[in-house]
Amino acid sequence: MDVSFERTGERRYATVVTLPGRHPRRMDPAPGFDEHIPHDLVHYLTEAELGLASGVFGRAAAGGGGFAETVETPGDPRRRAREQRRAKKRESSLSAADRGDMARSEYFAGLCDLAWRRRAGASTPEWARRKQIPPEDAATVNRILDRLDEVAPLWHDLPVGGALTFTWPGSDVR
């Protein structure tokens, strides 16, 4: 599966997932735009580094997730409604089969986002200033921060209309 992070405006971006032989699905606008590194890109790099098969992007690879088809499905409204019900059912079963990957993804993405911003000298919310990285998580966080350090300048320099594309589950930009 290809995952692209498109800069769609000065302060907007979209996340696009494309499975082989399927129409692209996208979230536009995607949450948490940041000129240095957006929220979904932090999630992607976290999940790829940790090998999380049931996080946001592992679920997307299995046909789930909150991404919408980019083309209108032809046919009657009943057929489209049936397809939407199937997608909802698939997401429910993926959620039920989750081995804690989604919670782990949220935990490490949040922790790494704050740690990276501190390291980059960016301001963080008042509540986050007291938050420390637990010693048992330091090696994992540092590994993810190294990837964020590599990718953040690529995102920051991306013009409106540009995109960074990865092949899941890899963390190298194509």
What tens-digit pLDDT sequence spans the chain (174 residues)?
A: 999 999 999 999 999 999 999 889 999 999 999 999 999 999 999 999 999 988 999 989 888 877 777 665 556 667 666 666 766 666 666 666 667 888 999 999 999 999 999 888 877 777 777 788 999 999 999 999 999 999 999 999 999 999 999 999 988 888
pTM: 0.85
Counting the structural domains of the chain, the total is 1
Residue 70 falls within a domain, yes or no?
Answer: yes
Query: Residue for token digits 């390291």?
Result: 119
Cβ–Cβ under 8 Å, residues 152 and 36: yes
Tokens of 165: 């594309």
* DSSP-derived 3-state class of residue 15: strand
For residue 71, the enclosing domain spans 2-167
- Which residue from 113, 135, 137 is spatially nearest to 125, judged by alpha carbons? 113
Residue 9 falls within a domain, yes or no?
Answer: yes
Residue 118 falls within a domain, yes or no?
Answer: yes
Tokens of 51: 């090998």
Query: How far is the CA of 26 from the CAs of 100, 127, 166, in angstroms?
Result: 24, 32, 15
Residue 172 falls within a domain, yes or no?
Answer: no
